[in-house]
Amino acid sequence: MINFDLQPKQSLLLRYLNQEASWIGIGGGRGGAKSTALQRCMLVRRESASKTLGAIVMRNYDQVKRYHVDPMLRDFPELAPNYMKTESKLIIPGRNKQAGNSEIHFTYAESLEDVIRRFRSASYYDVFVDQAEQFSEDELREIKQCVRWSKVPQGTCKLVLSFNMGGNIDFLRRIFHLHEYNRNERAEDFAFIHVFPWDNVEWVRPALASDGLTEDDYYRKFTEKQRMAYCATRGDYGRNLVGQDEPLMKRDWLGSWETLEGAYFARVFDRQSTVLTEEQVKLLLKPWTKRWMSQDWGRGHYCSHHWHGKVEISPKEAKEVLNWDVDLPFSAVITYREYIAGGAADKDEGGQRELAEQDIAYEIVRRTGMEDMRSFFLSPDAFAKRTSQHTIAQIMGKVLRSGGLPSPVPADDDRIGGWSLIYELLLGAKRHGNIPMDGKVPRGADVWLISGNCTELIDAIPLLMRDPKNLDDVLKTDKGKARIEQDVADDVRYGLKSMLMPTKKPMSVEMAEVLDSITDMHKKSMTHRAMLAKKSHGVSRAFYVH
């Protein structure tokens, strides 16, 4: 038998698992020990219900391994021999010799098709979905159909949905907060636990020890308001959350349901319409596809890099590949690969730490391979002189050119125009995907599609908040705080705005494109001088033609 203690909200989840509701939500602020609650309650359920199957589900394998497999094997090393790596499952021995073994399956589903393939014919006693805000209502209902077990009373099997505030929470908000049910839903089938950072004693354990207090004092002698204040002032994690801009503080600290209203792309980002499988990407991107790259440079912040392509999709191809019914051809930008480096922050969300610009450039060359890249749009700050006589753009450009890739050029940094463009492209994808929207669906509108492999980008879009001081802009935290979703969003904004809607073609872009095509060094030098002379005389420059 595995021994561990449960925090109060975790104990409440365990009690709900033994009550009537079959849909159980546990959501709210960040750091409320939700993932740990799922793991421990899953262990209890598998020990108490012998010969049963339970599943912990997330969007992709990296997530479920990082947030569940690795922590469980670290916290309970005695279970390590029971973990079947190739099958991604954990065998839980019965409490005695007569009881049979149970299993915990660690699985993932990147799309509705994945959900159907993995769960439609399955049967689980319990399914716990972590970061459920990343799943659509259709996907969650499909998963719920497999929460069934023979010869047990109705309501015994449970679907638990753990989620943060932000992302795709319309459905979760309706059933767990507004309590608005359709005629086929019963109120007694739903239960919800609201969690907050101050529910997790781990954030203040050092402070408690310093003050001569215990965990029992924290949970039993402190009131809710006292725990909240203690976590906000005596723990680094709490202080960081409270110190955020108000929209982020309401979402991450207070776990407010109303943060949906402050999310910039909440009404237009539909994962089911926007995210592509690897096979769909391969079918849509052709050898002749116009491709380019973008990057938001950062070392202390995250250095985010993405690859994009623009394609024309016919009605026939739209039906065959996307299952969309459209009358006219339309253009689609496909963001199909991502690379995250840098990011020396307190939050480890992927990325290789403290890489030099040359290393990042070599990695970009390696990942690009033989693809024909037309342009590389880099954040403008990378073109500034620093301690070296060369800019970051120049250092990276030398490596990229040696690998057959274009030199970086300054990205268009029009924030309002960039966010507006992304909004319209996401809206186009949602409408083309036959998602009901107010108003007439515009035929032939451009869309933005994203490979399911771009996990950080997909996670970032729902987390972007409106700036209360300028509702047309996305909230940007100060330079001392690294937030991966903001760095990733700036990266793709550079890429889409610079290629699709530039104000005009910068002379630096024109020069780089011409010079990169010249191999003879003498001719390159003479051409460079001639172009500089034209620039100094104010010769007009051409606009992009799309």
- Are 397 and 479 contained in the same domain? yes
Dist CA 88 CA 61 (whole Å): 10
In the listed set 195, 229, 258, which residue is the last one of a domain according to the structure? 195
Give the whole-number percent of the chain exceeding pLDDT 70. Answer: 87
- Are 298 and 246 contained in the same domain? no
Q: What is the pLDDT of residues 172-221, one digit of tens each?
A: 999 999 999 998 999 999 999 999 999 999 999 999 999 999 999 999 99
Half-sphere exposure (Cβ direction) of 315: Cα atoms closer than 13 Å: 6
| Domain contains 261 | no
Secondary structure (3-state) at 411: coil
Confidence of residue 540 (pLDDT cuts 50, 70, 90): very low
pLDDT number for residue 506? 55
pLDDT number for residue 168? 76
- Are 537 and 480 contained in the same domain? no
Average pLDDT across the chain, whole number? 87
- Are 233 and 321 contained in the same domain? no
pLDDT number for residue 504? 57
- Are 212 and 113 contained in the same domain? no
At CA 296, angle to CA 354 and CA 448, rounded to 5?
130
DSSP symbol at 442? P
In sequence order, the 6+-apart residues with CB closer than 8 A to the CB of 522 are none
The CA radius of gyration of the chain, in Å to the nearest whole number, is 26
CB 494 within 8 A of CB 379: yes
151: exposed, middle or buried (Cβ count in 10 Å: 0-12, 13-18, 19+): exposed
* Domain range for 77: 8-195
State both tokens at 469. Answer: 């001081």
Q: Out of 33-42, 395-404, 422-431, 460-469, which region has the weakest mean confidence (pLDDT)?
A: 460-469
- Are 508 and 413 contained in the same domain? no
Of 451 and 522, more confident = 451
In the listed set 195, 224, 258, which residue is the last one of a domain according to the structure? 195
Confidence of residue 535 (pLDDT cuts 50, 70, 90): very low
| Domain contains 68 | yes
CB 276 within 8 A of CB 284: yes
- Work out the average pLDDT over 324-330: 89
Helix axes 8-17, 34-48, angle to 10 degrees: 40
Dist CA 259 CA 463 (whole Å): 10
pLDDT number for residue 509? 62
- Are 286 and 276 contained in the same domain? yes
Confidence of residue 468 (pLDDT cuts 50, 70, 90): confident
| Domain contains 437 | yes
Can you give the length of the chain in residues? 546
- Work out the average pLDDT over 374-402: 88
- Work out the average pLDDT over 81-89: 95
Dist CA 244 CA 125 (whole Å): 40
Dist CA 112 CA 432 (whole Å): 17
For residue 218, how many other CB atoms are within 10 A of its CB? 20
pLDDT number for residue 530? 77
Q: Out of 305-314, 322-331, 341-350, 363-372, which region has the weakest mean confidence (pLDDT)?
A: 341-350
Q: Give the total number of structural domains in the chain.
A: 4
Q: Out of 45-59, 88-102, 357-371, which region has the weakest mean confidence (pLDDT)?
A: 88-102
Q: Residue with structure tokens 């839903």?
A: 185
| Domain contains 257 | no
- Are 243 and 350 contained in the same domain? no
| Domain contains 256 | no
- Are 171 and 212 contained in the same domain? no
Q: Out of 26-40, 74-88, 512-526, which region has the weakest mean confidence (pLDDT)?
A: 512-526
pLDDT number for residue 437? 44
Closest CA to 293 of 350, 364, 342: 364
Of 167 and 149, more confident = 149
| Domain contains 2 | no
CB 342 within 8 A of CB 357: no
- Are 522 and 470 contained in the same domain? no
- Domain with residue 491: its CATH number is 3.30.420.280
CB 308 within 8 A of CB 333: yes
For residue 130, how many other CB atoms are within 10 A of its CB? 24
DSSP symbol at 124? B
- Are 136 and 284 contained in the same domain? no
Closest CA to 491 of 362, 335, 353, 369: 335
Give the whole-number percent of the chain exceeding pLDDT 90. Answer: 67
| Domain contains 265 | no
pLDDT of residue 141 exceeding 80, the answer is yes
In the listed set 216, 250, 284, which residue is the last one of a domain according to the structure? 250
pLDDT number for residue 505? 58
| Domain contains 241 | yes
pLDDT of residue 480 exceeding 70, the answer is no
pLDDT of residue 30 exceeding 50, the answer is yes
pLDDT number for residue 543? 30
- Are 339 and 467 contained in the same domain? yes
Of 61 and 476, more confident = 61
- Domain with residue 95: its CATH number is 3.40.50.300
pLDDT number for residue 384? 85
